[in-house]
Structure 1
Amino acid sequence: MKLGSLKEGGRDGTLVVVSRDLSRAVRASAIAATLQAALDDWSNAAPRLNALAAELDAGTASGAFALDTAALAAPLPRAYEFVDGSAYLPHVERVRRARGADVPESFYVDPLMYQATSAGFYGPRDPILASSEDWGIDLEAEVVVVTDDVPMGASSATAASHIQLVGLVNDVSLRGLIPAELAKGFGFLQSKPRSTLSPVLVTPDELGDAWRGEKLHLPMRTWINGAWFGEAETGVDMQFSFADLVAHAAKTRPLGAGTIVGSGTIANEDTGKGASCLAEQRTVETLRDGKPSTPFLKFGDTVRIEITDGAGRSIFGAIEQTVTRQAPRG
């Protein structure tokens, strides 16, 4: 099934079940007011939501309506936790090689991960807000999973059973602010603003054989200002599965229902597939030409991120945003 949230009913939106073709939806308020409420009681809510999804796709759901993507908030407008990994090591290897550094052996057995911003997510058509182009505004096209309650110390095998939803995220980065923050030795803060979730999140069974080994196996397609930018393969060169990433996050603490776990920027050894972030493209250019030539995003630029199935049908809906100036507030 596919789940989304309308921009109504308060800060956490109103839960809707969305048809497989993304054209129609029905409010699920009789089951759960919000997606977070559904995840809090997933064992009871999921079967009822599945039944409603079957009615919607059969054309028998009462109250169904035509879906306007612009009316959607992020499926989880805010989450208790968002942890983001860096599971695609070709990206890490290239970035480090560009500055003359090797990849530590530990990176191949112990995932990189940081605590990301979760207090608010942009909806799929909301603008990317920034106050200065000098901040180095960048997109990062990633896959995410959402869990139910995960016990502390869960193994990868156990963690796999707690992955309930899959989606996309544009994990916006401000590259110009990152070096100074990392130099402090305390991690990201100002350089990682709000991110954007795909119009819907889907249960793994919706993905068929494209979901195997707790990885998604489809191309991540990105466009900037309508021009093709990349279609990196999500199932290729992913060093750690989502089960591994969830288990890593839960090593010393339980994860609450609604925890979002990100894959990190999709990147392949084959650079002919394009890139999923501007920093990756600029690194490829630096290694090839001695300097980057692709600029970071400017005000007015548009970004589109989408994954389609083998028949060209959008699975999660498209993230489509415009970079917009946010005037500083006194």
Structure 2
Amino acid sequence: MKLASLKSGRDGQLIVVSRDLGEAVAAADIAPTLQAALDNWHEAAPALQALYEALCAGKAANSFNFDPGRCAAPLPRAYHWADGSAYVTHVELVRKARGAELPESFWTDPLVYMGASDAFIGPCDDVEVEDEDWGIDFEAEVVVITDDVPAGVSAEQAREHIKLLGLVNDVSLRNLIPGELGKQFGFYQSKPWTSFTPVLVTPDELGDAWDGAKLSLPLRATLNGTLIGAPNAGQDMTFDFPTLIAHCAKSRSLMTGTVIGSGTVSNVGSKVGSCCLAEVRCLETIEHGAPSTPFMSFGDRIEIEMLDASGESIFGKIDQRIKQYHPPR
């Protein structure tokens, strides 16, 4: 099934969306919000599935046209957002561009940081940034949503805790990152709010493209109408989602509604393009000695989407513009 949240208060209003993303129906009688549904997944999921099947069959009462512009993030705020760097080839490329060696441990021990989950933004919401000089970049990623995950869970056990999947634009402010990493204490100012696709889907919606650990379909990132890349999210993923979940749960439990990100999708050699501008610039630096592609500017439009084997959008599209933010004076 496919689930979304209309903008309403801070936690949205849960709706069920048809497979073709054309129609939707309110799910308030089952759960008022997606977090409430996840908290009672054992009972809510079968009821939501029945409503989904009725909607797809054209038998749901009070259905309406689905408009992504009315959507918040499916989980407008979450208790936990942990983003990995599962495509080590991306990290290797970034380090190569600046002449740094990749530690061998990066191939066996995942990189993960905890991001801001107090407010995610919707698929069509503007990305508001105060200064272009901060180096505005998009990062197209796959994410999974878990139920309660016990501490010490194995990767094999972690498979059973994945309840929903979606895509995100994990916005990065590249020119703020070096100063933060130089403090050896991680990201904060360089990672503003993250935006989501209109819908999250249950794993059964993905067919053979989902093997319980990786989603093997191209992830398309388009900037101002130009396709920047469409690397396959199932290829060159050093750490799959169960491995990332087990890593995050090594010393503490994860609560229902935890969002785990793959990090920027990247394929070896980047022959199919990139899912962030930093990687484009690294490739230019390696080939020409310096980057020529600028980071994003105010007014730029970024679109992120994944299509199934028949060319239909699975999660809907992230479609947003970069807008200058003016702080209070």
Range class of TM-score, shorter chain: over 0.9
**Residues 38-94 of structure 1: per-residue CA shift (max 9 Å, x gap):** 011111111111111001001111111111110111000000000000000111111
Shift of 1:272: 1.6
Identical-residue share of aligned pairs (%): 58
- Say what the alpha-carbon RMSD is for the aligned residues: 0.7
Question: 1: CA distance between counterparts of 2:212 and 2:43?
Answer: 26
| 1:262 equivalent in structure 2 | 261
**Residues 89-145 of structure 1: per-residue CA shift (max 9 Å, x gap):** 111111111122221111111111000110111100000000000000000000000
Matched residue SS, 1:276: coil
- Structure 1, unaligned runs of 5 or more: none
Question: 2: CA distance between counterparts of 1:172 and 1:85?
Answer: 14
Question: 2: CA distance between counterparts of 1:297 and 1:236?
Answer: 27
| Structure-to-structure mapping, 1:140-159, within 5 angstroms | 140-159=139-158
* 1:65 and 2:69 correspond: no
Matched residue SS, 1:145: strand
Structure 1 segments, 4+ long, off by >3 Å, are none
| 2:219 equivalent in structure 1 | 220
Deviates more, 1:13-22 or 1:94-103: 94-103
Shift of 1:213: 4.4
Matched residue SS, 2:175: coil
| 1:318 equivalent in structure 2 | 317
| 1:3 equivalent in structure 2 | 3
| 2:132 equivalent in structure 1 | 133
* 1:26 and 2:25 correspond: yes
Question: 1: CA distance between counterparts of 2:55 and 2:191?
Answer: 38
| Structure-to-structure mapping, 1:297-312, within 5 angstroms | 297-312=296-311
AA aligned to 2:216 is H
Question: 1: CA distance between counterparts of 2:211 and 2:284?
Answer: 33
| Structure-to-structure mapping, 1:92-241, within 5 angstroms | 92-241=91-240
Given that residues 213 and 241 in structure 1 are in contact (C-alpha distance below 8 angstroms), is that contact kept between their aligned partners in structure 2? no
Given that residues 220 and 305 in structure 1 are in contact (C-alpha distance below 8 angstroms), is that contact kept between their aligned partners in structure 2? yes
Matched residue SS, 1:46: helix
Shift of 1:270: 2.8
Query: May I ask how many residue pairs the two structures share in their alignment?
Result: 329
- Structure 2, unaligned runs of 5 or more: none
Matched residue SS, 1:212: coil
AA aligned to 1:162 is H
AA aligned to 2:307 is T
